[in-house]
Amino acid sequence: MFTSGLRSFTAIAILAASAAIAHAENPKVGGAAMFADKNIVENAVNSKDHTTLVAAVKAAGLVETLEGKGPFTVFAPTNEAFDALPAGTVDTLLKPENKDKLTKVLTCHVVSADAMSSAIAKMVKDDGGEHDVKTVGGCILKAKDDGGKITLTDETGGTATVTIADVKQSNGVIHVIDKVLLPKG
């Protein structure tokens, strides 16, 4: 009787632990809770660290796309990342006449897949330390593992580090990055 009770208790404990892992909370981003049942735009608008990104997505007309089915992986630069661009860059990109340039920059941060950091790290390892990531904007990013942190090098040689990984969304995943990735030319 004791053995079968112990087995039942062990089975229940394993199921409870599995459920807790399956329902692990997303990390907070920009001081806001991120909900796995909300889409990328619904979550991003709540992050105080991503107001520039949200404004840029709106100006580029990409809201409807990023609210869509996906799946998408978005490498989401923080406000600080945008602030680090040369003076006037963001204001210039947000002008209506530069919508195509802005769209190109933003779509170089989006991959048409649901790529959690463990999957990216495995691709990097399987490819000998560097993995080419093709974005929906046609950019090729070079993903690497730098001491357990994923880095992405853009086509201009700039490198961003993933600072918050695996923020699950209903239509993909967000990885917060510390630099704006730029297309060549």
For 54-97, the pLDDT digits (tens) are 999 999 999 999 999 999 999 999 999 999 999 999 999 999 99
Tell me the C-alpha distance between 21 and 80, whole Å. 32
pTM of the model as a whole: 0.84
For the stretch 2-38, pLDDT in tens is 444 434 433 333 333 333 334 457 888 888 888 899 9
How far, in Å, CA of 104 to CA of 99, rounded? 9
107's enclosing H/E stretch is helix 99-107
